[in-house]
Amino acid sequence: MPLRTTYAQGTPNWVDLQTSDQEAAKAFYGRLLGWEFNDEPVPGGSTYSMALKNGSEAAAIAPQTAEQRGRSPMWNTYFAVEDVDATAAKVEAAGGTLFTPVFDVLEFGRMVAGADPSGAAFCLWQANSHIGASLVNEPGGVVWNELITSSPEQAVPFYQELLGLAVTETELDGEKYTMLQADGTDVAGVSQSPDVDLPNHWHVYFAVDDITAAAAQTPSLGGAVLMAPFDTPVGQMAMLADPQGAAFSIHQSGG
């Protein structure tokens, strides 16, 4: 599949993990997803570890900030926006919260972090030299981003207003599932929280070649299987946690 070079407004374009043990997380995901890492120094003396698969950028792993220490590590989902300052100015009026002012990330882009009305954190990214992930929808890359929330009725209108996304409703295994669309393309999903002890959050799915083998390998790498592989209309999925407790899912296409 061709590498991504652009992202439309409102499309998830990047994910990164902020974790309590950066080196241990790199070892876990490197073994599980076949990532190699390029450590980029950032102001303050830490590093931002770019995860590469076959030389292409798929995600990143970073240390938690001082304010985040003691909290559960988590994967962050970024949305591409054309004007991050203008978009950020709409967050609070739409019912969300901003964690930081908008700021520049060296020459790579401009961003802000916040939370939607249901408390799920998200990031907005205006690209400069870094457009986001170049490897997606292939083993080792992100294949889907899904808001898991106890309050879809609050969250969905927020993203519609903030990012200009359209909404369609469908059914998956008899349950209502909301698709968020940018330019007529499904770019993310929204689902009611499952019977798993997780906060409202943007959940990340990574593609794998063999989901049974990946799930079986996870405990030996120090992680945990939260939901064993199960069949869905779009392939097999499993929900996992890394050794530091960050939840994520893996997906194997059913063709």
**pLDDT digit string (tens) for 19-56?**
999 999 999 999 999 999 999 988 778 899 999 999 99
pLDDT at 9: 97
Structure pTM?
Answer: 0.95
Comparing CA positions, the residue from 224, 80, 51 lying closest to residue 238 is 224
C-alpha to C-alpha distance for 68 and 61, rounded to whole angstroms: 15
pLDDT at 196: 59
pLDDT at 63: 95
C-alpha to C-alpha distance for 97 and 214, rounded to whole angstroms: 36
C-alpha to C-alpha distance for 125 and 141, rounded to whole angstroms: 19
pLDDT at 14: 98
C-alpha to C-alpha distance for 136 and 132, rounded to whole angstroms: 10
Alpha-carbon torsion angle 189, 190, 193, 194, nearest 10? -30
Residue identified by tokens 């499904």 is 186
pLDDT at 1: 66
pLDDT at 74: 95
> Which portions of the chain are predicted below pLDDT 70?
1, 194-197, 255
pLDDT at 72: 87
C-alpha to C-alpha distance for 168 and 161, rounded to whole angstroms: 15
pLDDT at 194: 66
